[in-house]
Each structure stands twice: as C-alpha cells, then as structure tokens.
Amino acid sequence: MKTPKKICVFLALLFISISGFSQSRYISETTKQIVFTRDGGTCNCCGSSSNLEYDHITPFSCGGSSEASNIQLLCMSCNRSKSNSCTCKIHDRTVGTNCCDGGSTKQPTTTARQCTGTTQKGFRCKNKTTNSSGRCYLH
C-alpha cells in the first residue's frame, strides 16, 4: 500500500515532466513538415539539399521556441558553424538571430523566392530559387 507522501511525490514528478516537455528542443513531425515545405527542402544558407537539419533561428539555449516560425532548414555544415550565433561562419551569411549576445538580425539574408515555373499538372511550383530567371533547378 502506498502512502500519501509517495503519491504526492509521484504526482509532482509527473507534473514537472509534462510541463518540461513543452519547453524542450523537441520539434514535432508536423512542424518539420511545415518547415521543410516552406523552405523548399534546401539549406537556407547555401542551398544544399543534403544532410539537412532543423535549426532554431533564435537558439534554443537563448530562449528560442520550437515553433515553425523559429525553425529553419540548414545543412549540417552551416548549422554546426552557426552554433549559438546568427552567422554561418563557412559562408559568412546571417542565418538567424543571436539573442544571447543581444543582437537581433532577422532571418537569412538570401533572396530566395518561390519558383515561377509550373508543374506537369499545371500547378505553380513550390520550390524556392535564387536564380535570376525566377525558376528553380527543375524548370
């Protein structure tokens, strides 16, 4: 038979674990799908489509949330060089905010925009491009 004290401790630990989950760096599958589609499946810094990682624009360690508005796709190299800063040190590009140091640079400086091409079914292409023609690598 459990004592009331043990039950209270159990309930307290359960409450702490549940409330702590909402403030974790965990990124839900739904958020990942939204970000992947929004970012066109490419790194927001160099445009690579391999070894992609989900990055907190405002670092989690500085209070950044795991909501889609604070998540972006970066390739592993760009993400690791960014660390807790706002700059990809490989490409010398701004790819986030750095609230740890008080800086507040917003989003990447790349000028990627939606492709102006159409798919085989006649829909507008959802890929992003930095190409001056306004079309992605598929068109």
Instruction: For the domain covering 23-127, report its CATH number.
Output: 1.10.30
How many C-beta atoms surround the C-beta of residue 105 within 10 A? 15
Alpha helices in the chain (DSSP H): 4-21, 29-38, 76-82
d(CA 116, CA 74): 23
Q: Which residue has the tokens 């989950």?
A: 21
pTM across the whole model = 0.56
Q: Within its chain, how far is the Cα of 38 from the centroid?
A: 10
Burial class (CB in 10 A: 0-12, 13-18, 19+), 47: middle
Q: What is the pLDDT of residue 108?
A: 44
Per-residue pLDDT of the chain (139 residues; tens, 9 = 90+): 556 777 777 777 666 555 544 456 789 999 999 999 999 999 999 999 999 999 998 888 788 888 999 999 999 999 998 877 888 888 888 888 866 665 444 444 456 677 777 777 777 777 777 777 777 666 6
